Structure 1
Amino acid sequence: MADVVSFRKEERTGLVRAERSGPVLRLTLDNPPANVLSIALMEALGAALDAAAEDGTVRVVVVASTGNLFSAGHDLKEMTAHRADPDGGRAFFEKTMRMAADLMLKIAGLPQPVVAEIDGLATAAGCQLVASCDLAICTDTSTFCTPGVNIGLFCSTPMVAVTRAAHPKQAMEMLLTGETIDASTAKDFGLVNRIVPRQYLRQVIDKYASVIASKSPQALRIGKAAFRAQAGLPLPEAYDLAVATMVDNMLADDAKEGIGAFLGKRMPEWGK
Structure 2
Amino acid sequence: MTTIKTTLIATAFLACTVPAAMAEDCTPKHSFETVKPGTLSLVATTYRPATWIENGEIMGIEGEILKHVAAMECLEIEARPVDAAAGLNYITRGRADISAGGWYRTAERDKVLDFSAPLYLDQMAIVSTEDVNAFDELEGQPVGTVQGDLWVPELKTLFGSQLKLYPNFSASLQDLRNGRISANFASNSVIVNADSAGQLEGFYYNAVQPDERVAASMMPSQVGFPVPEGSADFQAAINADVQQLREDGTLAEILKRHGLEASAANVGDARFVQ
- Settle same-fold status: TM greater than 0.5: no
Which has a greater percent of helix?
Answer: 1
Larger radius of gyration: 1
TM-score normalised over the length of structure 1: 0.24
TM-score normalised over the length of structure 2: 0.24
